[in-house]
Structure 1
Amino acid sequence: MTSPVAASDLRVRPRVWIGLAVWAAYVAIIFIVQQLVGIPMPEWGVDGSSLFLGAGLSLIVGTIFLAITASLLGWWRPALFDRRHSVRWPIFVPALMAAALLLNLASTDWASYDAGFFAASIVLILVGFTEEMATRGLLLVGLRGRLGEGWVWFISSAAFALMHLMNLAAGQDFASTLNQVGMAFLGGTVFYILRRTTGTLIWAMILHGLWDFSTFAVGHGAPGPFFAFGGIVNLVAGILGLAVVAFVIRGSDERLSR
């Protein structure tokens, strides 16, 4: 548990429009950098250079933008910490995602890695900071300036899902993108549950970053026999997350309008 944070303690009072503006600016920055680089998404995993330029570079720029924005707004503390955590038992949902992550890593063809690809893969872990800070961090703070926690969960998870639509412009096909959007909403719910059960966004950042690392890792080379199980377990975690998310919302007192 952390000590309470009131809106009056912050440099800029939380507003819904500010949270949405930060989220939209982050999406625009990622989109513009990726378009300027011009490497189609299906080619990101070909080698280390394409992975770094296609995905890693935009994440570095996004990290700098979000860090500066959080500092200017004075929102670091409420973005990273809740007043108090929710009931603990729903943490089994993100634990299932962690198990799916381990299955991915166990199925990865590590022999196919070279130093360049591994280094570029490590940069992808930044996605845990950027996408969590943009949605379940700064956007969440803005939403808590006016809305109840149920809307905070739904809108932040929907915003996280919708940001994946820009993968269409990066060359991903429509069916894959639509599936990714749906899975991202489920995943966003899992990360929200992890924030609420621990009282901090930091663990969600770590899990998110490692999850994306594992999905690129298992897709490189020839995956092992457990390849399909990681995706199945992750889907189960997302569905169970929808079933139990109400328990981490119920009784919450995280509004920042006071």
Structure 2
Amino acid sequence: MADDEGKSVTGTGGTNRWKRFWERGGWWRALILVVGYFVLYQGAGLALAPIAPSIDDTESAGYVLFFVALPIFIGGVILVLFALSVGWLRELFGPQPIRGRGWMWIAVAVVLLFNVLRFATVDYAELDFGYVAAWLLAGLCIGFAEEVLTRGYVVNLMRKAGHPEIAVALVSAALFSVLHASNLLTGQSLFATLLQLLYTFAFGICMYLTLRVTGNLIWPILLHASTDPSIFLQGTHHVDGPLATIAGFGNIPVILVGLLAIIFIRGRVTTDTDAATVVGGPTPAYDR
């Protein structure tokens, strides 16, 4: 495969210990950040628990807003505050230092296709407009928080440590997947959770590919934002028919594409330390 073009990312800089600590990057710093986010996110959910008795209709807009959207919205705010504290906000949402190959559009197409199919086969006549709107808002909150955390921070931390892109993709997808193991705490069966972990890992690879091929974090955020609402709405309220049946099997192609894509992921983003050894400036990202 031909070389991917890229540019260097900031190495160990910063004006204080906090910034310098995170600028060094690495998988274990990514793990610390994900665990910290998980604790704060779960804490936000527990803080809202006293409201539960007053909102017992799981198919009401209020329930979705308070117990799905609001906790992860708080998580998103925490992530933005963290970005401001280390000065990464522009870095996260700026152009990617390494771009993808044309084949990576397959991941975007597969996820988008089945999201559209699911939305197209939702039985909107059975649903309240407010409930649908609440799920769309919740999806945006989920897409923002989970993508900023895993395809934003984790990817950035891995690249700052100089890891090749295959490691970047695997670690970001793995940490994204592990976050969903928390569903065991809500009573979900072990078998269902294991299947979900497989799906979310493959989906995480697809979101990484989306980040690479589009060159900006906003696109995996939006693609992810359309995924969760389509799954929940179509899964509980759909119009019976061939399209609904096809849409119901959408997780399988995502898993296949995500797992197969791992074989072809190449590239590496150089750090400023690496670039300093090269005459003429930073070296580009390259296939390995």
CA, structure 1 residues 218+60, in 2 after alignment: closer, same or farther (shift >3 Å)?
A: same
- % identical aligned pairs: 25
What is the TM-score with the length of structure 1 in the denominator?
Answer: 0.88
Comparing 92-101 and 168-177, the one that deviates more: 168-177
Q: Is residue 122 of structure 1 aligned with residue 136 of structure 2?
A: yes
CA, structure 1 residues 254+94, in 2 after alignment: closer, same or farther (shift >3 Å)?
A: same
Instruction: Measure the CA separation in 2 of the matches of 1:65 and 1:25.
Output: 10
CA contact (8 A) 1:193 1:245 kept: no
Query: Aligned residue for 1:15?
Result: 25
CA contact (8 A) 2:8 2:270 kept: no
CA contact (8 A) 1:165 1:177 kept: yes
Residue deviations 1:25-48 (CA, integer Å, cap 9, x gap): 211122222233346xxx884221
What is the TM-score with the length of structure 2 in the denominator?
Answer: 0.79
Q: Is residue 138 of structure 1 aligned with residue 158 of structure 2?
A: no
Q: Is residue 5 of structure 1 aligned with residue 9 of structure 2?
A: yes
Number of residue pairs matched? 254
Paired amino acid for 2:85: L
Paired amino acid for 1:243: L
Q: Is residue 74 of structure 1 aligned with residue 87 of structure 2?
A: yes
CA, structure 1 residues 231+158, in 2 after alignment: closer, same or farther (shift >3 Å)?
A: farther
User: Offset at 1:116?
Assistant: 2.9
- 5+ long unaligned stretches in structure 1: none
User: Offset at 1:224?
Assistant: 3.4
Instruction: Measure the CA separation in 2 of the matches of 1:200 and 1:246.
Output: 23
Structure with the greater alpha carbon radius of gyration: 2
| Structure 2 counterpart SS, 1:82 | coil
Query: Aligned residue for 1:201?
Result: 217
Paired amino acid for 1:241: G
Query: Aligned residue for 1:190?
Result: 206
- 5+ long unaligned stretches in structure 2: 274-288
CA, structure 1 residues 104+183, in 2 after alignment: closer, same or farther (shift >3 Å)?
A: same
Comparing 7-16 and 125-134, the one that deviates more: 7-16
Comparing 46-55 and 11-20, the one that deviates more: 11-20
Paired amino acid for 2:75: G
Residue deviations 1:153-179 (CA, integer Å, cap 9, x gap): 111101000000111212333322221
Two-structure CA RMSD over aligned residues (Å): 2.4
Matching residue within 162, 172, 180 for 1:164: 180
